[in-house]
């Protein structure tokens, strides 16, 4: 594997992971602020019911997936601006 491809894989994965982590923290904070309760993450400690569990799964899943795609897109644009070419594999 060449150096550029390795660098792109690290940069793309790193930004996707960081964006996903930030999105997860953000959606949890929004859940706490909106509903004045903790998100239903640990089901052994609480019994929130299926509607809340499904709402949390859908909301957090969408936000994390969107943030990961957006983070990778930002990394791609930065790569193009800095190096003047598209990332390897695009």
Q: What is the pLDDT of residues 41-74, one digit of tens each?
A: 876 767 778 899 899 999 999 999 999 999 999 9
Domain span including residue 65:
3-40+49-83
State the total domains in the chain. Answer: 1
What pTM does this model have? 0.82
Check whether 79 has a pLDDT greater than 90: yes
Residue 74: inside a domain: yes
Residue 28 lies in a domain: yes
Buried-state track 24-56, b at ≥16 Cβ within 10 A, e below 16: beebbeebeeeeeeebbeeeeeeebeeebeebb
d(Cα 23, Cα 35) in Å, to the nearest integer? Answer: 18
Residue 89 domain-assigned?
Answer: no
Instruction: Give kind and range of the element (H or E) at residue 71.
Output: helix 50-83
| Residue 34 domain-assigned (yes or no) | yes
In a domain, 90, yes or no: no
């Amino acid at each position: 594997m060449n150096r550029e491809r390795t660098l792109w894989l690290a940069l793309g994965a790193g930004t996707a992971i960081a964006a996903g982590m930030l999105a997860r923290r953000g959606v949890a904070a929004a859940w706490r602020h909106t509903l004045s309760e903790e998100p239903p993450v640990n089901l052994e400690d609480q019994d929130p019911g299926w509607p809340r569990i499904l709402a949390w799964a859908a909301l957090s899943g969408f936000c994390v997936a969107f943030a990961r795609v957006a983070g990778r897109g930002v990394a791609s644009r930065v790569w193009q601006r800095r190096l003047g070419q598209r990332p390897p594999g695009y």
